[in-house]
């Protein structure tokens, strides 16, 4: 099956710093990747759609200057949380579209901002 690798799995940072999360499709090319945020005991909330070679499309209410997305190649998308604050603490998950509409997820990144 298709494998999506996400790093780091856990990060703790100080308030005001920036954090970069990487999402890689290991055995397939993904022109489209998605970034989600998940609060404890809740469903996945789509933040943005990452398109290779073009600007990301953000969902309503998601600050594009806060959550920078770069999709520089067919196998790599990055999410940078800029000037992180405690309210940005959350579980962030990426996904990539494989063959036949199947969506495969990374293992998630638990971000804790002190």
Partner 1 sequence: GENVEQHPSTLSVQEGDSAVIKCTYSDSASNYFPWYKQELGKGPQLIIDIRSNVGEKKDQRIAVTLNKTAKHFSLHITETQPEDSAVYFCAAPNFGNEKLTFGTGTRLTIIP
Footprint on this chain of partner 1 (rule: CB under 8 A): 1, 4, 6, 32, 34, 41-44, 46, 49, 91, 93, 95, 97, 101-108, 110
Place of tokens 């970069």: 20
Count, residues in the chain: 114
Distance in Å, CB of 42 to partner 1, minimum: 8
For the purposes of burial, counting CB atoms within 10 Å of the CB of 10, is it exposed (0-12), middle (13-18) or buried (19 or more)?
Answer: exposed
Q: Which of 8, 30, 4 is nearest to 19 (CA)?
A: 8
**CB 91, min distance to partner 1, A:** 8
* Comparison of 42 and 83: residue with beta carbon closer to partner 1: 42
CB of 106 to partner 1, least distance (A): 5
């Amino acid at each position: 099956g298709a494998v999506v690798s996400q790093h780091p799995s856990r990060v703790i940072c100080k308030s005001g710093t920036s954090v970069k999360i990487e999402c890689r499709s290991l055995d397939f090319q993904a022109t489209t990747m998605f970034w989600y945020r998940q609060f404890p005991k809740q469903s996945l909330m789509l933040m943005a759609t990452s398109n290779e070679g073009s600007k990301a499309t953000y969902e309503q209410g998601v600050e594009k200057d806060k959550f920078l997305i770069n999709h520089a190649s067919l196998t790599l998308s990055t999410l940078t949380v800029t000037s992180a604050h405690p309210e940005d603490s959350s579980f962030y998950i990426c996904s990539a579209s494989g063959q036949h509409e199947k969506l495969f997820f990374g293992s998630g990144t638990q971000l804790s901002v002190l």
